[in-house]
Amino acid sequence: MSMPVLSGTEFWKLSGSGNDFVVFNVMGDAAGAVILESPEMVRRLCARGTGVGADGVVLLTAPDDSPERGAGEWERNHFRMIYFNADGSRGEMCGNAALCSTRLAVHMGLAPAEGMRFETDSGVVSSRLVKGEPEVDLAAVREVIPDFRVHLQAGERRVGFALVGVPHLVVLCDSVEDVDVALRGSELRHDPSLAAGANANFVARDADGVWRIRTYERGVEAETLACGTGATASAILLELWGEVDARPVSLWTRSGMVLTATAGRVSEGDWRPSLRGSARIVFRGEIGEA
């Protein structure tokens, strides 16, 4: 499949705290969505140097016809967010993509800034702009393992697991600067006990008391500059481990920008997290002929 199939198709390039995405509004364009869902097309679009270049592709499509129950009354969702990793695989959820989708939906008039609901493969989420910055209430998190059975390496203090739309391992470290994220992240991502693999997040508090995070992302198969669901998983486990005293938890990402996550523990084994962070429209473009 070649790019000329999409010649003239409009796209948006967005960056969420350093994670970047190619976003298409395919509301009412089912044929276009089918072409864009091709793993080969996703890989071509995400390729840096020969494509647009991104960590993933986002499709904004029409929501399902079935209404959802919300706030005590029947509500219809504004759109559906479909996410693809750079390797062409479909991801159940991406926190930074959700923040970017919120930003773009307001910009394009698809939803109001004060509040929206949209569908993802991991469930319906709600979001809004707060003082110009997007904030997303993620789907409930119920699968959390505070102590994941994996051999600890030097400088690692504890490893936990949380399913925040997608699976995450969180490693509490002495220093994220000392971690070989490419090597250790790949080892954890492919741990044989995880049937679907997992993202690997390394978190540590520096001498100034600031939490820092580095992430090896499944589907990108490399370290990325930020991971929204990874920051959320980290906030949940840091609270469960008694490492943080107050909400929300701010984590400095590799991009130098901050992701703020609220663990939101409702009851034993039931977390309702939210995520806030930067989401910037970089440019709008069209797919070329060659």
Active site residues: 94, 227
What separation in angstroms does the CA of 221 have from each of 56, 188, 235, 246, 272? 12, 12, 23, 33, 28
Residue 217 β-bridge partners: 222
Task: Tokens for 3, please give them.
Answer: 């790019």
